[in-house]
Every structure is written in C-alpha cells, then in structure tokens.
A and B are shown apart, each in its own frame.
Chain A
C-alpha cells in the first residue's frame, strides 16, 4: 500500500518536473498588436510576408526556416540581393503567397506553416489565419525602437536570441560611434533637413516617425518636427518658410535631385540654392525599417556636415555592414 503511495508521489513529482521542463521551453513573445504568442519550440516553417522582417531573418542566419516570402521579393531591385543570398529565391522556387495588401489564405495554409509574419493592420487576413489556429506575429514599425523590438522577437521565435542581441548591440554601437561628435554641434549650426517621400514633393514625415529618428541621429533638425504626424502632405508655402538647409529624398523612380533643383517653386530654398539635395540610392541598403538604418544615418550625417564627417568612407561602411549583418552571403555583390 505504502509502495503504491510512494510510486504516486514519485510520479507526481516527476510530472511536476515535466511541467517545469515544458514551462521552461515555452516561447512567449508579444507582437506589435499586444497579442501574446506562445510557441512550444522555435518555428521551423515560417511564412514571412514583410520584406524588412525577412531581411532580419537572413541577418539572423535563420533563413532556412523560411518557407514563404512576400511577392514583391521577386520584383524590383531587392530581388538581386535575395537571389545572391538564397538559391531557392534565385531559382524562383520559394512560394510567395502574399504581400502587404493581399494574402492568399489557401496558399499560406497549403504550406503548413507554424508561424506567419504579417503587417498588423492586415486585420482580415490575420483573423482568417488565426481562426485556423496559426500563430500570427503582427508587425508595425514606427520608431527605431520598434526595429530593435522586431529583431529580438524574431530571434526568440527562431531560437537564436543570442544572434539577435548581437545585432542590436552592433547597431547601437554603430549609432553611438558618432554621437559624441553630433552632441558637439552647437544648436545654431544644426542643419534643418526636409525629408521628401517619393509620392510627392510635399509628402514628408514629421514628429513620431523613423524618418524623424534618422534626422535627429544624424545631427539634424526635422524641418517640420513640430507637427506630430507620421506621414502627411504639407503646404508649399510652409516649406519655403522653413527654408531647410538640406533635402533628403527617399529612393524615387521618377525624380532626381536635379529635378528639384530645377523646379521654379523651390528656387529660394537654401538647400536648393546651395545644391544640397540628395537622394537615397537604394531601397535594400537604405531601408529605415531594418537594422541597416544606421548606414542611412551615416550617409545623411555626411551630407549634413561634410567637414565634420569627412573621415567616413561610405563604401567601406557599406561593405562592413553587409558583412556583419549578412556574413558572407552577399560577397558577390
């Protein structure tokens, strides 16, 4: 009788240990909607429908877990980078069941994923996937802190938190390298910078945005910082009155800096008069929603304070960054 009781106790305690073991292995991550995801083990079949998150997975070295990518990887200039990093993409073998706008639910389900990464405002698609029991990680990037949060979360979801933390530290260090010099710039000499989206000359980002972070980290002042909106259309008169010292254009297929310099309405603006209108050269390298954004910070800092940062060699910075982030995968480029 006592023996049986002892057996029960033993079994019980073992099971408690089992529970503890399970609890230890349960991965808990909060996505950008505030929803908690609980995975028993790191995801091995990931459908990632966001290009910036996908590049993060490659940085983590966890691309082997990816079984579905966003459709736009196969179009445009980002294709060459991913093709160089991944044979499957080069051969166009990796399925692309969705994008920022549409998601083919059937195709996603057919891939039998154990994790789907998608924009958090694609609410209907998310609901359709979650209804069928799929863990969905919703993303929304507004500030640079969100970029860090995302990569850490991806690190946890793929069981490679160590590498994620490494990358975040690296990025923060890179940002920190020039902060001394930037802090030394007197207020009076701070360059006012106007950021121009590709949709229109008057489309910019103000207060709470990754653009604002970019501008401030490079030592400048956002020309329209006093307005809180992330993305808005401003009045031409205002731009003339703000009289920015530097204009930074997002990668633009239709226009070049020379088009702005020639535009009659922009002639009186300081940046135009001094020819300081620059365009970010590439989407992949300059993506403000990935850990590559420190490269853009350096680029803009150099444009804003050429003398102060003349020791920065952008080509060298680029090569170093690509090596550090993607290891040797982008060697050929």
Chain B
C-alpha cells in the first residue's frame, strides 16, 4: 500500500526523537555538552579524563533517561493503539479502554497493593484491569452474543463498582498511603526504570503485534454485526480477538505508569483526523504518533520543573488544545450516529 508523505513523516520521526530525548532533562543537571562529550568519548574509546563525571553521565543517560524515554514511547503507543482498537470494536469514536472499567479496576488493584505492603503493585494493577474488563464482558454476555450497548452498560456498572471500592480503600488507609494512592492514579513516569521496561515491553509488543495482524479486519467489523457475518467473519469472535490484546496492552501500561488521561481517547481521534478511518493506516500511525506524542509531553514535563508533576496533567493540557485545533479545522467531519 502506498504511503503518503504525512505517513512517512510519522514513521521517520520516532527514532531521532528518542535519541534527541536523551539530551533533554532538568537544566541544573547534566547538560547536552556533557552527553555529547560522553558519547564521542565512548565511541572513540579514548580514556575519559573525568571518571566521576563520566560515571554520572552514564548513570543518568543510560540508567534514568533511556528507560524513561523508552517507557514513555511504548506506553504512548500502547494506549493509542488500544484506544483505536476499542473505537473500531465498538464502532464508536467516543470510547476508550476505560469504558469497560479498565482504569477503575487497575486503580483499585494498585490501591490494595499500596495499602497492604505484602502485595506486589504492578501485577495487582494489571490483573484487576483485566478482571474489570472480563467482568464487563461477562455481564454483557447473552445467548445471542454481546451487543455494543450491553458492553457499554456492563462497563459502566463495573467501573462504578471498582470506583466505589477504590474510594473505600482510600478512606480506610492512613494519609501517607492515601497520598501514594492518589499520586499513583494521577499517572507518573518518574519511577521509570529498566525493570519496569522489562515487565511491560513484552506484553505491549505482543499485544500491538496481535492487533497489527488484525488491522484490516477492524474495517470489516466497522460496518455492523450482520454485515460482518455476511462476508464470512464471526462478529463475536472478531470482537473478542480485538478486545483481549487491546485490554492487555492498556492494562500493562496502567500497571507501570498509572492512569494517563487523553491518550486512549483523543489521540486515536487525532490519528484518524490525519489518516482517515482505514485501520490499515490508523494502526501503524497510532504506534508512531502515540509514542511520539507521549514522549514529547513527557520531555516537556521533566524539563520545566525539577520536581515531578503527574504526566496525566500535561497530556490533557497539551493534548486538549491540539485536539480542539484539529476539530475546528474540520479535517474530518463526524456524522451523528
């Protein structure tokens, strides 16, 4: 399939952006010059005159910045791909992974883990995210299959239940743990480390790959259940095949970074506004653009202050206006359903 110029730009940007992001950071620490020196010295294998500084530069660039940059990119991709897939699956541009209760479930799982120190944080958030979606699906299941409306209703119920449970946990814990829970739900990348990259990248790659294989089939589902059946696909099976990996990667993302708003809902829109609804284009562009978006936002958030502000605040404040701009330009007109 031929690539337009716009698409080429999206696919080319990520790699240089990732490298450039390594040079960016809070201003009173290592600066770009230091990194450049370190790079050239490492490559030319000449002895470093300042061992102490070299160690610090390495520690910061390789130990702090690189995992964070990779994490930001992969989570941005994962959430965008997940959102795009959910929107195709539900035939509704207004849904996001949260619609089936994923965020509420994951937040509840994390809250319990934070309240009871013996439980591990990431796995709990991950498992409860999946559980919430599974529960919504189960609630919506009838002999005839699963309709979009019943799934959304199931999601609302499950979301409500987990939010109530979350509030209860928050209410019963001490103020320090409560603060931690609240911070976690705001979304953060400041604890990015190689161990987080290791634990999240594999499920994310797997899920994105799976959805990538199914990208054209999302177009088929978009026309309706009966229409899907008529051309030889089983709509229930296809929906499940999309739901599972989409939930997986969203849950893995939330488990390592908390809840980051806007990326699962508005960024797929932005992608669609730029490429059209054909999922053979939206999926790969979602990977590239979603990752780019979150990376740029995170670069911004970690340079302007020396203390950490939850990234969810930035994604909304930066993504929101850009989204409005695109909407106003009416690059794509959405019909009333």
Direct contact of A and B (CB under 8 A): yes
Which A residues are within 8 Å of any B CB, using their own CB? 72, 100-102, 197-202, 227, 229, 232-238, 240-241, 243, 253-254, 263-265, 267-268
CB <8 Å contact, B176 and A201:
no
Set of chain B residues within 8 Å of A267, measured between Cβ atoms: 59, 63
Q: Bound state CA distance, A234 and B307, in angstroms?
A: 4
**How many residue pairs between the two chains, A and B, have CB atoms under 8 Å in the bound complex?**
86
CB distance from B60 to the nearest CB of A (A): 5
Point out the residue from A102, A202, A238, A263 that lies within 8 Å of B29, measured CB to CB.
Answer: A238
CB <8 Å contact, B176 and A235:
no
Point out the residue from B29, B171, B176, B190 that lies within 8 Å of A199, measured CB to CB.
Answer: B176
Q: Bound state CA distance, A240 and B191, in angstroms?
A: 14
Set of chain A residues within 8 Å of B171, measured between Cβ atoms: 101-102
CB <8 Å contact, B26 and A238:
yes
Q: Bound state CA distance, A184 and B56, in angstroms?
A: 31
Q: Bound state CA distance, A201 and B183, in angstroms?
A: 13
Point out the residue from B65, B175, B180, B190 that lies within 8 Å of A101, measured CB to CB.
Answer: B175
Set of chain A residues within 8 Å of B307, measured between Cβ atoms: 227, 229, 232-235
Q: Bound state CA distance, A102 and B56, in angstroms?
A: 46
CB <8 Å contact, A240 and B176:
no
Set of chain B residues within 8 Å of A102, measured between Cβ atoms: 171
Q: Bound state CA distance, A267 and B191, in angstroms?
A: 15
Q: Bound state CA distance, A268 and B195, in angstroms?
A: 17
CB <8 Å contact, B176 and A198:
yes
| Residue with the greatest number of chain B CB neighbours at <10 A, chosen from A101, A235, A263 | A235
**Interface membership of B306, Cβ < 8 A:** yes
**Beyond A233-B308, A235-B308, A254-B117, is A240–B183 a contact (Cβ under 8 Å)?**
no
CB distance from A94 to the nearest CB of B (A): 20
CB <8 Å contact, B180 and A235:
no
CB <8 Å contact, A240 and B190:
no
Set of chain A residues within 8 Å of B178, measured between Cβ atoms: 101
CB <8 Å contact, A202 and B308:
yes
Point out the residue from A202, A232, A265 that lies within 8 Å of B63, measured CB to CB.
Answer: A265
B177-194 contacts to A, CB under 8 A, are: 177-180, 183, 188, 190-191, 193-194
Set of chain A residues within 8 Å of B191, measured between Cβ atoms: 200-202, 236
CB <8 Å contact, A237 and B194:
no
**Interface membership of B296, Cβ < 8 A:** no
Point out the residue from B59, B190, B193 that lies within 8 Å of A268, measured CB to CB.
Answer: B59
CB distance from B285 to the nearest CB of A (A): 31
**Interface membership of B148, Cβ < 8 A:** no
Set of chain A residues within 8 Å of B183, measured between Cβ atoms: 199-200, 233
Q: Bound state CA distance, A243 and B53, in angstroms?
A: 11
**Interface membership of B28, Cβ < 8 A:** yes
Q: How many residues of chain B have a CB within 8 Å of chain A?
A: 33
Pairs across A and B, CB under 8 Å, 27 listed: A72-B174, A101-B175, A102-B171, A197-B176, A198-B176, A199-B177, A199-B180, A200-B183, A234-B307, A234-B308, A235-B26, A235-B307, A237-B26, A237-B29, A240-B59, A240-B60, A241-B29, A241-B56, A253-B117, A263-B193, A264-B63, A264-B194, A264-B195, A265-B59, A265-B63, A267-B59, A268-B58
Which 9 residue pairs of A and B lie closest in terms of their CB atoms, listed nearest first? A268-B59, A199-B180, A253-B117, A254-B117, A233-B308, A241-B29, A232-B307, A236-B64, A237-B29
Set of chain B residues within 8 Å of A201, measured between Cβ atoms: 191
**Interface membership of B55, Cβ < 8 A:** yes
CB <8 Å contact, A227 and B306:
yes
CB distance from A30 to the nearest CB of B (A): 25
Q: Bound state CA distance, A263 and B179, in angstroms?
A: 24
| Residue with the greatest number of chain B CB neighbours at <10 A, chosen from A101, A263, A267 | A101
Set of chain A residues within 8 Å of B176, measured between Cβ atoms: 197-199
CB <8 Å contact, B174 and A100:
yes
Q: Bound state CA distance, A8 and B133, in angstroms?
A: 86
**Nearest-CB residue, chain B, relative to A241:** B29
Set of chain B residues within 8 Å of A229, measured between Cβ atoms: 307
Q: Bound state CA distance, A197 and B180, in angstroms?
A: 11
**Interface membership of B319, Cβ < 8 A:** no
**Interface membership of B264, Cβ < 8 A:** no
CB distance from B115 to the nearest CB of A (A): 11
CB <8 Å contact, B174 and A240:
no
Q: Bound state CA distance, A243 and B56, in angstroms?
A: 9
CB <8 Å contact, B190 and A202:
yes
**Interface membership of B269, Cβ < 8 A:** no
Set of chain B residues within 8 Å of A243, measured between Cβ atoms: 56
Point out the residue from A198, A227, A254, A265 that lies within 8 Å of B64, measured CB to CB.
Answer: A265
Set of chain A residues within 8 Å of B177, measured between Cβ atoms: 199
Set of chain B residues within 8 Å of A233, measured between Cβ atoms: 183, 188, 190, 307-308
Set of chain A residues within 8 Å of B308, measured between Cβ atoms: 202, 232-235
